[in-house]
Structures are given as C-alpha cells and as structure tokens.
Amino acid sequence: MGFPVQLGRDHKKFIATPQEWPSMDIRLRDRFLELWSRYFNGAELPITFGISEQPGDVQKAPAPKGWRCLVCDLTRIRKGTSLSFDGESISCAGGKFYLGYSKERAPMFRYFLSTGKPGVVEGERYKRTPEIVDAMGGNAVQIPASGRCYIFKRWDQLAGDDTPEVVIFFARPEVLSGLYTLANFDQTDPNGGVICPFGSGCGSIIYYPWLEQQKENPKAVLGMFDPSARPCVPLDILSLAIPMKKFVRMIEYMEESFLITGSWEKVKRKIARSEEIHSL
C-alpha cells in the first residue's frame, strides 16, 4: 500500500542521488550498546540497512514462493540474522516499488489502494477513491537500487566495513517516548524531529527514512501503521526509523538529555515491566 513522496506538479519522476556515508565506527556501535542498556533496560536492539553493490558474506534472503510482506522477513534480522535483499528477494509489488526495484505502479494500483474494481481487483480501501490515489502518487523520487542490494543487520552485528544508512527501532510506547523525545532534543520546530507520512510498512522504515538521510537536516519517521503489515509485527509494536546522520547526533545527546533525570527513571521501570509482560 502507500504512495510515493509528492514533489509538485512541475517535477517528473527521478532517481535520487545518494549521499556517501562513511563506514561504521565500531566505537560508536559499542558506545550506543552501553547507553542503550543503561537507559532503556536492554529493550530490543534496532536493526539497520544500507544499500551496497555486493552482499559480501551476508546471506541472501531467498525468493518467496508466493506473495510475502518484506516486514515479515525482518523478524529474522531482529533476532540477529543478517540478510541481504535484492529484487528477486521481494515478491510484493509495493515492496519492489518502495525499495527501487520497480519504476512504475501496477495499472490497477489506483483501485487496489481504494475501492477495488469488481471482477478485476479487490480494494484495500485505504483511500476513499481512485482519484485520491492518482493525486497522491503522480510524482516520485526513486531509490537507486537497481542492480544493488540491501544489507540488513541488527545493530550489534555491524562491522567496520558496513555503511548503515537507516536505524530502525521496533518498540512499544515507553521506548518510543524516549526515542521520540530524543529525536526532538535539538529542534526548535515542534514538527522538526519526527514525521509520520502515510504509506506501506516498508515505506515507513525504508523509503521515507532513506529519503530523509539524503537531506542536510533529516527527520526520524514514525511508522508501521499499515494494516496490511501489522500481522508481521508483535502486539503493540510500532516503528521509528532514524536516518544515520541524525542517529549519530542522538547518541551524542543521550548523556545530557532527559534520560539522566528522575522522570526517565520512572519510565525505565515501565519499560522493564512491559518487557516482563510481553515475554510471558
């Protein structure tokens, strides 16, 4: 489901030019692990992705035998298995589009996202009319992924030659409250730290945060509201996907932020309680 970012009527579809991002600093990796354990009571670690010419020694995700949501495949990565994905690893048309492996929407997409077309395609009914879908999806920036692959790793699995571009948290409200507030820690604009665009599950954790990573002042992306992707995530879980250049700053702020206050100590107890409840 979902729609590509709107650029305006005077623009045409184009492929974004990615900004170069340096290799992973292992000291930064380990520093975050220590701070995460201290301030978030060992809550689930984030996963990351970068786009690469070659998968290296990372296992390739097998081609699905039928339709499969990419978000479901991320469960293995959240548990510590690193995987690479290319166009053959994705069967969902929306996933192929959002990840840059397909340049055009299917002809019936306008009906698929809205009312459906009797005898042709069942509608998801996420938009009221096909015309609304048309107006939202006329122009798109595309991720330059053709001939390349996505490397997904959990944060603690990152190595010095990795180039993560987005950090993705799957979390419940108490953890999200900390991440959301930290993302706004250096912002004067109340809307300057986090955005929540309508889109598919994979759009909210890959497409939109990757586009933000290309900006000078990127924003985090709150997501996983797509009803079609919800079966692929645990109960009460949402996502916050953070462009790497923003995430580096957030790590730097942790020890001077609200995380060192008594207010956060109370939230930490709730995080521990939440982990206990959901582990039963």
Q: What is the pLDDT of residues 56-73, one digit of tens each?
A: 999 999 888 888 899 999
**pLDDT tens digits, one per residue of 4-50:** 333 333 334 445 566 666 789 999 999 999 999 999 987 999 999 99
* Contact (CB, 8 A) for 145 and 100: yes
3-state secondary structure 124-173: CCCCCCHHHHHHHCCCCEECCCCCCEEEEEEHHHCCCCCCCCEEEEEECH
Under the banding of pLDDT at 50, 70 and 90, the label for residue 74 is very high
pTM here is 0.91
Question: Directed axis angle between helix 244-253 and helix 26-39, to 10°?
Answer: 60
pLDDT reported for residue 136: 87
Of 126, 134, 132, 142, the C-alpha closest to 198 is 126
Of 231, 234, 230, the C-alpha closest to 279 is 234
**pLDDT tens digits, one per residue of 125-154:** 999 999 999 998 655 789 999 999 999 999
Mean pLDDT of the chain: 91
d(CA 67, CA 80): 24
Helices (H) and strands (E) in the chain, counts: 10, 9
The residue ranges of every structural domain in the chain are 21-59+148-273
Share of the chain above pLDDT 90, in %: 80
Query: For residue 195, is pLDDT > 50?
Result: yes
- Give the three-state DSSP class for 239: strand
Tokens of 173: 């409200």
Bigger pLDDT: 279 vs 76: 76
